[in-house]
């Protein structure tokens, strides 16, 4: 793999879902999509070969880049050697207890298998970012921005919508990666915003969302029976919230789940 005229014999690790981008114009565009400025501290999850890290460093005040693969130390020592505002942390972000400076923005090129847990840790944590801009598989991106009642709409969509607004900023073809993945990708920007819900309401809504989508093919009264103390109680709450007895969870928005929370007095 050639980066800035340097050849690196990188042993790509399938376990970590490693697919790197070297196109400088595309990397700069991703950093721009994230809205990174010289006032920002950026947390990058998965530095990889450091190509996106370098693009972020050119725009940010500081970049803290997590990298789980120790084998990339020698690569990153070269690709980031002139980036004095970058700190590379060789840890698994999901297990790290390192304090995160606030305010901060997150930018990451995420493999599919960690997208949901990383997003939910960021959105549910005590210290939350201003925004999260991630490159993920195109189908995952479409799920994050899906509308209620569509095939792509799921628990992650509604959970994100409780605290943020998500949009796809660009599609990235598989040919832009080394090694090329089997699917196309997309960049999604998730901007956190106060939607007027209390933390208790949000936590209760997430509980109902999980229950609703764990039993996606059933009516909402059946799906929420366990969470609300029985099918009859669930049916009463659904009616009180103003929904049809036959309503299904996949047709409800995040705001609708908040209505259910208020009707159930869980908040």
For residue 54, pLDDT over 60 is answered with: yes
- Rounded Cα distance between 231 and 161, Å, is 27
Q: What is the pLDDT of residue 114?
A: 87
Name the nearest CA neighbour of 46 among 2, 112, 97. 112
Alpha helix segments (H runs only) across 49-166 = 51-57, 73-79, 112-124, 138-144, 155-161
Which tokens sit at 23?
């196109």
Task: Identify the residue with better confidence: 215 or 135.
Answer: 135
Is pLDDT at 259 greater than 70 in this prediction?
yes
CA gyration radius, the chain: 21
Residue 248: pLDDT band with limits 50, 70, 90: very high
Cα(205)–Cα(57) distance, rounded to whole angstroms?
37
* Cβ atoms of residues 86 and 61 within 8 Å: no
Share of the chain above pLDDT 70, in %: 92
Residue keyed to tokens 């930018």: 107
Dihedral angle sign, alpha carbons of residues 174, 176, 181, 185: negative
pLDDT (average), residues 201-217: 92
Please answer whether residues 258 and 166 qualify as being in contact, where contact means their C-beta atoms are separated by less than 8 angstroms.
Answer: no
pLDDT at 206 over 90: yes
101: exposed, middle or buried (C-beta count within 10 Å: 0-12, 13-18, 19+)?
exposed
Phi, psi of 228 (to 5 degrees): -115, 10
- Apex 152 CA angle, 149 and 157, nearest 5: 85
Q: Which of 103-112, 117-126, 164-173, 176-185 has the lowest mean pLDDT?
A: 176-185
Q: Which two tokens stand for residue 257?
A: 């789940």
In this prediction, residues 85-100 reach a mean pLDDT of: 94
Q: What is the pLDDT of residues 132-170, one digit of tens each?
A: 999 999 999 999 999 999 999 999 999 999 999 999 999
Identify the pLDDT of residue 183.
86
Which run of H or E residues covers position 256?
Answer: helix 254-264
Determine the Cα–Cα distance for residues 228 and 221; give it in Å rounded to an integer.
9
Average pLDDT rounded to a whole number, residues 43-59: 94
Q: All domains of the chain, ordered by start, with CATH?
A: 2-192 (3.40.50.150), 199-264 (1.10.8.100)
| CA dist., res. 45 & res. 89, Å (int) | 10
Query: What six digits make up the tokens of 78?
Result: 């070269």
152 exposure class (CB count in 10 Å sphere: 0-12, 13-18, 19+): middle
């Amino acid at each position: 793999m050639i980066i800035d005229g340097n050849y690196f014999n990188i042993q790509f690790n399938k376990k970590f879902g490693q697919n790197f981008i070297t196109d400088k114009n595309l990397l700069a565009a991703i950093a721009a999509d994230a809205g990174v400025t010289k006032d920002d501290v950026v947390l990058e999850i998965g530095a990889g070969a450091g190509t996106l890290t370098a693009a972020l460093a050119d725009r940010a005040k500081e970049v803290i880049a997590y990298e789980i693969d120790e084998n990339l130390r020698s690569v990153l020592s070269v690709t980031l050697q002139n980036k004095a505002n970058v700190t590379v942390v060789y840890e698994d972000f999901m297990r790290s207890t390192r304090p995160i400076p606030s305010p901060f923005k997150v930018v990451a090129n995420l493999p599919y298998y960690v997208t949901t847990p990383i997003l939910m840790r960021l959105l549910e944590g005590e210290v939350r970012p201003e925004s999260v801009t991630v490159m993920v598989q195109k189908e995952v991106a479409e799920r994050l921005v899906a509308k209620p009642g569509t095939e792509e709409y799921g628990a992650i969509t509604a959970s994100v919508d409780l605290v943020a607004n998500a949009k796809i900023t660009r599609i990235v073809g598989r040919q832009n990666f080394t090694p090329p993945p089997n699917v196309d990708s997309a960049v999604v920007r998730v901007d956190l915003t106060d939607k007027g819900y209390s933390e208790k309401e949000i936590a209760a809504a997430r509980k109902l969302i999980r229950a609703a989508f764990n039993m996606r093919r059933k009516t909402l009264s059946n799906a929420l029976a366990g969470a609300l103390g029985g099918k009859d109680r669930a049916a009463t709450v659904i009616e009180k919230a103003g929904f049809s007895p036959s309503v299904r969870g996949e047709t409800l928005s995040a705001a609708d789940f908040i209505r259910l929370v208020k009707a159930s007095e869980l908040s």
